[in-house]
Chain A
Amino acid sequence: MDLSALGNCVISASCVITQTTSGLIIGLLLFMVAAGVSLIFGVLKVVNFAHGSFYMLGAYFAYTAYQVTGNYAVAVLAGGLGVAIFGLLFERLLISRVYGSPVLMQILVCYGVILILDDVVKLVWGPDFLSFGMPSTFQSLPILFAGGVIPVFYLFLIVMTLVIAVLLGLLITKTRYGKIIRASAVNPTMVSALGINTGVVFASVFVLGGLLAGLAGGLAAPVRSLTAGMGLSVVIESFIVTVIGGMGSVAGALVGSLLIGLVRSFGSIGFPLFTEGLMFLMMVVVLVLKPSGLFGKEGR
């Protein structure tokens, strides 16, 4: 524990800016995964333990697309669309067969899929850490702001993820599709009685969740090292986020993710060994004080 380092950081503008930027990036990328977990849970009442593997696949798809085309935009899109298709297959072939089954069966299916995907990644891309490399567009001098250093790519990430967050918010709250999703979360039987094919809705939620996770993986690839098993810590953090923010609430996922991101970036200075512990502590405090989460309406 190093409280003096944290104290020194908080009073120095440059350190605050550097840490806040990295916290925002951790948080916003996490949001894209957590929003998918939260949506899938809200509509289908299934916890997709394999969602972290979606993120991992997104990063690897983007890696290969980048190797082939050299175009970062294409790489990110390939990550997103590739995982969206994978999400559809995953839903249709596997998880739709255990809807309504005990949680244990769903866990078992996800467990099997995670094992397979981690191994497939090792098989296809090799067991070593892969480094994506910074796309040439962003290889310019970092921006100096009040003494803090902000790489251009970080700014790009923040803007991109915020745009995606806003689009997702609009999709859920303003469109007919969003209305159907929200209705299916409350009463899928009623929705299907109104002539809407809920099977398609369910599959589409997985496609949307996969798209978000894949895009997040692709966007994160240049600033993370790629390895099999990189998904698990992400899925656990996204669950902590959904507990803090409230299951099924996109706004809650955003606030929870940002909190986690900032705790991680500042915590790594003050409590390098206990950063994970801090996140758990926050989650436990929320669970005890407001079990439904900061933005949740229903009980647990």
Chain B
Amino acid sequence: MGNRSSLARDCLIALVAFLVLAALPYIFPSRGFTDFVVRLAAFGIFATSLNLLVGYSGMESFGHGLYFGLGCYSFALIMQNFAVPIPVAFLLTIALSVAVALVVGAICVNLSEIYFAFLTLAFQMLLHSLIIAWTPITGGDQGLTGGIPRPPFLGVRLDDYYHLYLFSAGLLILCLLAMYHIVQSPFGYTLRMIRDNASRAPFLGISVFRVRLMAYIIAGAFGAIGGMIMSLFVSGAFPDFAYWTVSGEGIFMIMLGGITAFLGPVVGAAIFLLLNDMVTKLTTHYGIVLGAVILLFALGLRKGLLDFIVDHWRDRQQSALAAEGRTASSPPSAKPVSAGE
């Protein structure tokens, strides 16, 4: 799985994907398209990092927006207040989110699923209320305005929208590659084992607490990267990015796209953003329409787009095997959590 040739193959795929993305603005030379991809990068990384918890670790966080908001504010504040290069602000923000995730995770990760969901939500709302209350630093409910200085680094000028596009697309692909390798590593398989049978893992000498905490920290760090892209996109930070709805949106994205396929959350983020833009264009009653779509989805479909495709593909494979007269044993790939078994 994680051997050298597959790493080389994945890097090649990533490189091709990046080149394709880099060429696309020449085919679709509209600002709307590049803006969409930048937002998709922010939410795609965010949703995939949430799926590290929900899909791979069975930790159903309802407060992952904490890291999105934290990344957004921390990055914007560092850039506004200290004259540091952008990569330094990036690393500092990741370090801060790791520290926060370490504390929050240490308190939350061993709780049962409902407690975990609620406590993560509660910590997110703690950040939100701090942002609202601490007006001199964060700008309160007006948000951090005044723009973010963007000193060029390594030839990258983020005040240029094509550079920002390339930068975001590159980060999206790099983060996806990194997360893909994490879930394909022995650590990733340990996560799945704990998800499927948390009481068995200790017998194999695994510290469930430590592995879950690690996953929580990794997810938090990637979530913050999503927030940083968002902060660059809007040139500031707003309390809405730390509000609980971001967590709800993240969950809806991964459910829309499918939690069984690695790229499901990114597909879900794309569907969600398209849906979002459509709804805001058509109606002012955003909440009613979006809420209705969510209810239809949760009570009706119950599976994401890629879940349907994966299941369909698996069924066909099985029937092909059966047609050959062999006993088809079900493939031991990731079991959908949404199946509710």
Residues of A within 8 A of B (CB): 41, 45, 47, 49, 94, 97-98, 100-105, 107-109, 111-116, 118-120, 122-123, 232-233, 236, 239-240, 243, 272-273, 276-277, 280, 283-284, 287-288, 300
Contact = CB atoms under 8 A, between A and B. Distances in A.
A113 B291 contact: yes
Given A108-B251, A273-B133, A100 B340 contact: yes
Contacts of A108: 248, 251-252, 255, 294, 297-298
B38 to A, nearest CB: 25
Contact of B292 (A112, A118, A240): A112
Given A47-B114, A280-B126, A116 B251 contact: no
A151 B258 CA distance: 55
B299 A98 contact: yes
B235 interface: no
B340 A236 contact: no
Contact of A98 (B54, B112, B119, B298): B298
A236 B121 contact: yes
A232 B113 contact: no
26 contacts: A94-B295, A102-B60, A104-B54, A107-B248, A108-B297, A111-B251, A111-B291, A112-B290, A113-B291, A113-B295, A115-B245, A115-B288, A115-B291, A116-B287, A116-B288, A116-B291, A116-B292, A116-B295, A232-B125, A243-B119, A272-B133, A276-B126, A280-B123, A284-B107, A300-B111, A300-B115
Given A98-B298, A277-B130, 8 more contacts: A102-B113, A107-B62, A107-B117, A108-B298, A111-B252, A112-B290, A112-B291, A276-B126
B9 interface: no
A108 B121 CA distance: 13
Interface of B: 54, 60, 62, 107, 111-115, 117-119, 121-123, 125-126, 129-130, 133-134, 244-245, 248, 251-252, 255, 285-288, 290-295, 297-299, 302, 337-338, 340
Contacts, number: 121
Contacts of A113: 291, 295
A252 to B, nearest CB: 15
Nearest to A228: B287
Contact of B134 (A105, A119, A273, A287): A273
A272 B134 CA distance: 10
B126 A119 contact: no
A123 B107 contact: no
Nearest to B341: A102
B255 A118 contact: no
A207 to B, nearest CB: 21
A109 B298 contact: yes
* Residue among A97, A119, A240, A288 with the highest chain B CB neighbour number at 10 A: A119
A298 to B, nearest CB: 10
A243 B251 CA distance: 24
A119 B287 contact: yes
A277 B128 CA distance: 11
Contacts of B54: 104
B225 to A, nearest CB: 23
Contacts of A114: 291
Contacts of A94: 295, 299
A113 B299 CA distance: 12
B126 A107 contact: no
Contacts of A103: 60, 113-114, 117
Q: Which 8 A-B pairs have the closest CB atoms?
A: A119-B287, A112-B294, A116-B291, A115-B291, A111-B248, A115-B287, A108-B298, A112-B295
Contacts of B129: 276
A107 to B, nearest CB: 5
Contacts of A98: 298-299
B115 A243 contact: yes
Contacts of A240: 122
Contacts of A49: 62, 118, 121
B321 to A, nearest CB: 30
A225 to B, nearest CB: 15
A2 B134 CA distance: 15
B122 A104 contact: no
A104 B251 CA distance: 8
A98 B298 CA distance: 9
A111 B114 contact: no
A57 B119 CA distance: 25
A297 to B, nearest CB: 15
Contacts of A236: 121-122, 125
A178 B299 CA distance: 31
Contacts of B122: 236, 239-240, 280, 283
